[in-house]
Structure 1
Amino acid sequence: MILVTGAIVASAATFEEVLRLSQEHVERSRAEPGCISHAVFRDTANPWRLVFFEQWADAAALKAHFVVPASRAFAKAVGALATELPTIQIYDAEIVEPARL
C-alpha cells in the first residue's frame, strides 16, 4: 500500500477557494481505481493549513492519479493560491495487524 501526506497553506483571502478545490479533488480522487481512501483536514494549530492523507493500493494507481488532467489542474490551481510551497510525502507501507505488534 502507498500512503501520501501533504499540506497546503492558504491565506485568509484564499482559504475558502483552496478548501473548495481540495474537497472537489478529494471526492473525484476517491472514485479512481486503486484509491483506498483520500481525505483533507483542517490543521487545528494553523486554520489556513489543509492536510491531506491518502491510501493507494499500489504505486501504479498513484502514478495514474498523478497524470489525471484534473489532478494536475488541481495542483496548479492550489499552488497559485498557496502562501508557501505545498508539500507532499509518499511512503511505501505494509499493514501490520495489532496482534503482531
Structure 2
Amino acid sequence: MIIVEGWIRLAPGGVEALQEALRAALETTRQEAGCISYACARDVLAPDMLRVSEIWADEAAMAAHARAPHTAAFMKALRNAKVEGISLKAYAAEYQSTILES
C-alpha cells in the first residue's frame, strides 16, 4: 500500500479558481482501480492551502493514476492556479490498524 500526503499552497483566490478542476479530479480518481482513498481539503488555519491525502493499493496503481488523462487535465489547471508552494510525498505502508471507528 502506498500513502501520499502533502500540501499545495496557492495565491489568494487560487483555491476557488481550482475548485471545479479539483472536483472533477476527485470524482474521476476515486473510480480508478487501486485507489483506496483520494482526498483534498482546505486547511482551516491556512485558507489558501490544500491538504492532500491519497492511499493506493500499490505503486502500479499510483503510476497508472499519474499517466491518466484526467490527471494531466488537473495538472494543467494546477499550473494555471498560481501555485506558491507544493510538497507531496509517497510512503510505503506495511501496517494498518483501526484507531477509531464508529
TM range (shorter): 0.7 to 0.9
In structure 1, what is the Cα distance between the partners aligned to 2:12 and 2:3?
Answer: 29
Contact kept in structure 1, 2:10 and 2:85, CA below 8 Å: no
- Which whole-Å CA distance do the structure 1 matches of 2:88 and 2:76 have between them? 14
1:95 aligned partner, one-letter code: Y
Segments of structure 1 that go 5 or more residues without pairing to the other structure are none
What pairs with 1:78-89 in structure 2 (closer than 5 Å)? 78-89=78-89
Partners of 1:58 and 1:6 in 2: CA distance: 18
In the TM superposition, structure 1's runs of 4+ consecutive aligned residues that sit over 4 Å from their partners are none
- Structure 2's unaligned 5+ residue stretches are none
Aligned to 1:64: 64
Identity of aligned residues (%): 36
Aligned to 1:15: 15
Distance 1:97 1:79, change over 3 A: same
Letter in 1 for 2:77: A
- Kindly provide the CA deviation profile for residues 30-66 of structure 1, in whole angstroms up to 9, marking residues without a partner as x: 0000000101111112101111101000000000000
Distance 1:56 1:67, change over 3 A: same
Bigger share in helix: 1
**CA offsets 1:55-99 (integer angstroms, 9 cap, x no match):** 00000000000000110221122133133132211111122336x
| RMSD, matched Cα | 1.6
What is the CA–CA distance in structure 2 between the aligned matches of 1:85 and 1:12, rounded to whole Å?
13
- Are residues 95 and 85 of structure 1, via their aligned partners in 2, closer, same or farther at CA, if it must alter by over 3 Å? same
| Corresponding residue pairs, total | 98
Q: Which shifted more, 55-64 or 2-11? A: 2-11
Alignment match, 1:51: 51
Please give the alpha-carbon distance, in whole angstroms, between the structure 1 residues aligned to 2:19 and 2:70: 16
